[in-house]
Amino acid sequence: MSGSELALEVKDLRTTLFLREGRVDVVRGVSFQLKQGETLALVGESGCGKTMTALSIMRLLPDPPARVTHGQVLLAGADVSRMPEHQMRSLRGETVSIVFQEPLTSLDPVFTIGDQIVEAITSHRKLQRGEAREMAVEILKEVQIPSPGQRLKDYPHQLSGGMRQRVMIAMALVLDPKVLIADEPTTALDVTIQAQILDLIRTEQEQRRLAVLLITHNLPVVSQVADRVAVMYAGEVVEEAPASEIFSDPRHPYTQGLLSSIPSAAGDHKHLYTIPGRVPDPRVLPPACLFAPRCPYALRRCWQEHPELEATVSAGHADTSTQPDRHLLRCWNPQPFTALQAIEPQEVDRRIATSE
Q: Which pLDDT value is given to residue 268?
A: 57
Answer whether residue 266 shows pLDDT above 80: no
Calculate the alpha carbon distances from 297 to 31, 310, 334, 341 in Å: 26, 19, 8, 8
Report whether 204 contacts 173 (CB < 8 A). yes
Task: Kindly report which listed range (206-215, 280-289, 310-319) carries the lowest average pLDDT score.
Answer: 310-319
Q: Which pLDDT value is given to residue 317?
A: 47
Sign of CA dihedral 235, 241, 246, 250: negative
Higher pLDDT, 333 or 278: 333
Please tell me the distance from the alpha carbon of residue 96 to that of residue 36, in angstroms, as a whole number: 12
Answer whether residue 307 shows pLDDT above 50: yes
pLDDT tier, 299 (very low <50, low <70, confident <90, very high otherwise) = very high
Answer whether residue 340 shows pLDDT above 90: no
Please tell me the distance from the alpha carbon of residue 351 to that of residue 335, in angstroms, as a whole number: 21
pLDDT tier, 339 (very low <50, low <70, confident <90, very high otherwise) = low
Answer whether residue 178 shows pLDDT above 60: yes
Q: Within a 10 A sphere around the Cβ of 353, how many other Cβ atoms? A: 9
Across the chain, what does the average pLDDT equal? Answer: 88
33-86 pLDDT, tens digit per residue, is: 999 999 999 999 988 999 999 999 999 999 889 999 999 999 988 899 889 999
206-232 pLDDT, tens digit per residue, is: 999 999 999 998 888 898 899 999 999
Q: Which residues pair with 312 in a beta bridge?
A: 327
Please tell me the distance from the alpha carbon of residue 38 to that of residue 78, in angstroms, as a whole number: 19
Q: Which pLDDT value is given to residue 186?
A: 84
Where are the domain boundaries for CATH 3.40.50.300 in the chain?
A: 3-226
Task: Kindly report which listed range (54-58, 182-186, 273-277) carries the lowest average pLDDT score.
Answer: 273-277
122-176 pLDDT, tens digit per residue, is: 999 999 999 999 999 999 999 999 999 999 999 999 999 899 999 999 999 999 9
Q: Which pLDDT value is given to residue 344?
A: 59
Domain 3-226, second-level architecture: 3-Layer(aba) Sandwich (3.40)
Cis peptide before 220 (omega within 30 of 0): no
Half-sphere exposure of 315 (CA within 13 A, CB side): 9
Answer whether residue 355 shows pLDDT above 60: no
Residues 253-289: b if buried by 16+ CB within 10 A, e if exposed:
bbbbbbbbeeeeeeeeeeeebebbbebbebeebbebb
Reference 103, options 226, 225, 185; nearest CA is: 185
Report whether 6 contacts 179 (CB < 8 A). no
Instruction: Please state the pTM of the whole predicted model.
Output: 0.90
